[in-house]
Structure 1
Amino acid sequence: MPTISGFSTPVGCAMIAGGPVGEHIVPGSIRDGDTLLSVEHITDGTPPTRADITAEFSITPGKGGSITNTTTDTTGGFLHVLWSTSE
């Protein structure tokens, strides 16, 4: 998992392709029990734009390696996912 040093717990991040409402696979070791810090929807453009849509996501309960989106279709964009592990 890519981690960011300097925090009291490991922090991971990933950039993934967006998609329809539902489950999104996140590379790294995100798992149930971790804390989802933010999810940003990045849209291509000149310049690219971002929208904070953290409230629409959760770490998929009982399943590692994924988050679930309940509201917004992010197809054609990207998602920047940031989380803190419960190690």
Structure 2
Amino acid sequence: MTTISGFSVPTGCCLIPGGAAGEHAVQGNLTPGDTLLSVEHIVDGSPPTRTDRTAEFSIHATKAGVVENTTTDTTGDFLHVLWAMSE
């Protein structure tokens, strides 16, 4: 959990391995009811690049620590997930 002075709620973020469309485990306190702020698809390289994939992801409705990807295979790459925690 991260809190930023002046931001009204605690936030969480995690860099995780990508994978096929479907469920992705996220370390941290991600729970149903939290608000997904962004998901970036990170490709390692010189320099690394990012693509915003937020619209393709959602927080799982019943499982804690899981986001769901509806379309894009990110196998071999990484995902940076940022969320606001419900209190």
Q: TM-score range by the shorter chain?
A: over 0.9
What is the root-mean-square deviation in Å for CA atoms of aligned residues?
0.8
Partner of 1:58: 58
Taking structure 2 as the reference length, the TM-score comes to 0.95
In structure 2, the residue matched to 1:41 is 41
- Give the Cα–Cα distance (whole angstroms) in 2 for the partners of residues 60 and 13 of structure 1: 16
Stretch moving more, 4-13 or 34-43: 4-13
Identity percentage of aligned residues: 64
Q: How many residues align?
A: 86
Cα contact 2:3–2:9 (8 A) shared by 1:
no
Runs of 4+ in 1 over 3 A off after TM superposition: none
- Give 2:4's aligned residue: 5
TM-score normalised over the length of structure 1 = 0.95
Q: 1:4: Cα distance to partner?
A: 3.4
